[in-house]
Chain A
Amino acid sequence: MKELNEVDRSEEFIKLLAEHERRLTAYVMTFVPRAADADDILQETKLGLWQSFDQFVAGTNFGAWARQAAFNRILDFRKRKGRESQHLMFSDCCIENLAVAFERSEGLMDARFGRLTHCVAKLPSEHRQIVSLRYHDSKSVDEIAEKMSRSVAATYRVLSRIRLALRDCILEIGGDSRLQSEPIQ
């Protein structure tokens, strides 16, 4: 990248980051439960990516490079905040295993997530409403329980079932529940 002038380099960086922004954000959120923490880590990561952009080799995998940088910051963050945090945290060993597992299936997951809207649309109407309350209207589980006239425990259960169904649909595991072939004619 060194032969590029400052503006070209900035443009190239902006372009690459724009392409990978959503996936990088989702990656950090996968490892960091609290969004405020994820936001901080993302900010630091992006600044770090820019500052070390000279080291990025054009044409190589920007996504993997950015995830590695983000993961290093996640580890730093855990060290910094770990002792003072009230929140439960996986061991370093466990989180590193997860990072390796993520890289193993990243391609599969990412390619499949284009199906998300389709899979949400296929949910039964009540489940779609719950997804909408949760993710579009930012309702808490307590509020969803009240709105749907369910207990909080039942709401957690239904949310977990919805999430599994969406995951199976996205990854097309066990077949698309509505996919039927015409009978052999």
Chain B
Amino acid sequence: MLRGTFSRRLLPLTSVLAIAGMAGLARGQAQHSPAPYASLAEKGARYAGPGREAAFDLPGPVLRIGVLAPLHGPQRADGEAILTAAGMALKDESAKPLPGGLRLALATADESVPPWGTFGDEIIHLVVEENAIAVVTSADAVSAHLSEQIGNKIGVPVLTLSTDPTTTEINLPWIFRLGPSDTVAAHAIARDIYLRRKFSRVILVAESDHDGRLGAAEFEKAARQAGAPAPIPFVAGPEPPAAGALLALIRKTSAQAVVFWARPQITGQLVRAIRQAGDSIPVYLSQESAQASSGIEFPGSLAQENGPKANTAASTVEPGGTAAAWRASFVRRYQAATGTFPSAVAAEAYDAVRLIARAVRAAGPNRARVRDQIASVRALEGASGAISFDDQGNNQAGARLVPLR
């Protein structure tokens, strides 16, 4: 979000820098580009508000963890994957009693709820009516932004599975991201495509919606920074994807790879069309694109340390770092429960609920103290990798590529 296309972002900055450069020339300082007046991301905002006192503890023996997920419509499978993983984490954490006889439960809200515009009511229901101690949002960036707006006003920790980098660039002390941001993911994909495989003709499939625009802008930027030609754009959706047009574009441009930043069901349809046409062109999927509803599976990648060395036909991004024991256990149990391999988003959902439970164990039933606990997490082993939050709430685990089937 917040950025529009890369060109829209770059043009004003370039203009200002150009003017600044001319001013520098006039002063005989042409060799130095101007240092910005202020760097805003140096240190995130510390929460300086109230709420840590016992008077603000949430009442009752049952503490609810809010989970926002698509429970209807084309992304229902993604929502079910998140809830399955969250339920597993809750069961694991509940095996050891919490202090004071507290019990944890999940409270879910459907982000695909019709009619239009009532999704905000779902979040408010979780936070105000259900008194959720914290909220886990899906991979959808709009959910993440709405939740952090509300979380910041009311004082509720939000753990997001969205890869939208701007969610943690707002200086809010209440938001934490489990997975790699689009920025980090785009660089991981660009490194593999442009630097390792030495490709130059790449098609970028993105939707014109919030998440698609943002992801595409980040990949365009990563390509530029890798010194590569601009990727060839292909706009997917919101209508049924034009697979024929994409196949024609692949042939016409002699493309060497296709990168997807689109909703999973659209991504799945287009990838299947490419393969059914007999084309083995490598495809790269953003974390959101590779969710369960894409129909594209991780072949046990979360249990393996595959890395980007193999020339795989399909890859996606998951958090970097290693936490092999947690990972293997999670993958095995998830697969046993569902018959499918978990996506990176599902693994992050598992970790998010575990993180909240762990924070409640240490801090008690208090949102501000739970926030402080989550903010202090360093090198915690999880199903998605080792988790360490920086001052802005980003998981510093980085990103790596893993193969898909």
A and B interact physically: no
A residues near B (Cβ < 8 Å) are none
B residues near A (Cβ < 8 Å) are none
